[in-house]
């Protein structure tokens, strides 16, 4: 009997009306992934009951039921079409404008976030459904590396179910993959590309609040967005004192600067993350040998009275209404 393989696994995603009500059939779209860790495990709990008809005084006895694990982790493609699903999950509905390419602008800080059902099959009669999924964080990388770019998506879900029929109904064909090579990322500080950058990881985090209602089942009661943050760990080849000076001035007006992160796929489609007000934390410079000095700095973004902490511009060819 051949083993079940993951290569042909399609990931279906659909909007939910609320966190308790899964997406109905015929309301899903098809997207791509590299991997998924769906959560849903339910470990046993030790039950230290005293007394009873036991064979001896040391061996394990019957365990108690645990609670369903709520964490979900997905690695997805850095595709200018399919990123729209995850950006909307992270920040809510975008403002849509323009044609060829279409511009979708997302903004951090919304009070509510959409919830989704995710579903996939191992075989025609063996599937998994994750309902009440809310995106917690999305992380992007810039480095000189081979392959296509990837994004890391982490969140929480209310319910995980193994099913013979995931009941997605009729699903339209997936939008084309329009991926960017992993090496195409650009990091800018005050509109100038940082020429000494070795790598950076930029993470937007909703810091989800998992609400443990006593609702007569083992699943999480509600998932709410907490205080969002945007953090970027950059590693550079030390050239001058610019970041060191900015970190020393972190709580002065002169210590503030703007950051941009951009990826292009070479066809006029792009993703640009804009953090207009950033600070950098102080860091020391380790010297590990006679060669160049590499330094890591932590950058954090913030809002002010004039602008949100973060805006994201996604340009692709999918018309308004082409996504969830």
Tell me the mean pLDDT in the region 71-92: 97
Give the up-direction half-sphere exposure of residue 76: CA atoms within 13 A in the CB hemisphere: 30
Query: How much of the chain, in percent, has pLDDT values that exceed 70?
Result: 99
Q: Enumerate the domain spans of the chain.
A: 11-43+65-316
Helix (H) or strand (E) holding 30: strand 28-31
Query: How much of the chain, in percent, has pLDDT values that exceed 90?
Result: 71
> Tokens standing for 213?
């209602």
Residue 271 has pLDDT above 70, yes or no: yes
pLDDT of residue 1: 56
Model confidence pLDDT, tens digit, residues 32-51: 999 999 988 888 999 988 88
**What integer best gives the mean pLDDT of the chain?**
92
- Cite the DSSP H helix spans in 148-228: none
Confidence of residue 269 (pLDDT cuts 50, 70, 90): very high
Model confidence pLDDT, tens digit, residues 211-260: 888 876 778 889 999 999 999 999 998 888 889 899 999 999 999 999 99
Q: Give this prediction's pTM.
A: 0.93
Q: Which of 44, 42, 61, 43 is nearest to 52 (CA)?
A: 61
User: Three-class SS of residue 89?
Assistant: helix
Contact 156, 118 (CB under 8 A): no
Confidence of residue 2 (pLDDT cuts 50, 70, 90): low
Model confidence pLDDT, tens digit, residues 23-35: 999 999 999 999 9
> Tokens standing for 95?
């403002």
Looking at residue 297, what DSSP letter applies? E
Cis check: omega of the bond before 101, within 30 degrees of 0: yes
Rounded Cα–Cα distance for residues 133 and 130 (Å): 7
Which residues are bridge partners to 260 per DSSP?
A: 188, 274
């Amino acid at each position: 009997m051949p083993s079940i393989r993951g290569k042909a696994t399609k990931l279906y995603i659909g909007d939910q009306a609320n966190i308790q009500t899964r997406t109905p059939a015929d309301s899903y779209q098809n997207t791509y992934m590299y991997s998924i860790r769906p959560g849903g495990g339910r470990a046993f709990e030790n039950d230290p009951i005293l007394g009873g008809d036991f064979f001896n005084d040391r061996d394990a006895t019957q365990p108690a039921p645990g609670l369903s694990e709520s964490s979900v982790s997905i690695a997805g493609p850095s595709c200018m079409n399919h990123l729209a699903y995850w950006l909307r999950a992270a920040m809510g509905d975008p403002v849509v404008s323009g044609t060829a390419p279409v511009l979708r602008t997302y903004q951090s800080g919304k009070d509510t976030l959409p919830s989704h059902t995710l579903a996939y099959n191992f075989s025609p009669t063996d599937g998994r459904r994750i309902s009440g999924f809310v995106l917690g964080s999305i992380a992007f990388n810039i480095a000189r590396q081979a392959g296509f770019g990837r994004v890391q998506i982490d969140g929480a879900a209310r319910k995980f179910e193994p099913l013979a029929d995931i009941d997605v109904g009729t699903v339209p064909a997936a939008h084309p993959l329009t991926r960017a090579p992993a090496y195409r990322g650009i990091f800018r500080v005050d509109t100038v590309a940082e020429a000494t950058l070795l790598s950076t990881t930029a993470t937007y985090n909703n810091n989800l609040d998992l609400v443990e209602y006593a609702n007569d089942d083992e699943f999480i009661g509600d998932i709410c967005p907490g205080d969002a943050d945007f953090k970027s760990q950059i590693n550079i080849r030390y050239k001058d004192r610019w970041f060191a000076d900015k970190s020393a001035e972190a709580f002065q007006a002169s210590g503030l600067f703007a950051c941009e992160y951009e990826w292009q796929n070479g066809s006029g489609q792009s993703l640009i993350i804009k953090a207009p007000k950033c600070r950098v934390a102080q860091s020391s410079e380790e010297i590990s040998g006679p060669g160049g000095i590499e330094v890591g700095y932590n950058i954090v973004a913030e809002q002010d009275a004039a602008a949100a902490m973060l805006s994201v511009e996604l340009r692709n060819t999918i018309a308004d209404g082409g996504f969830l």
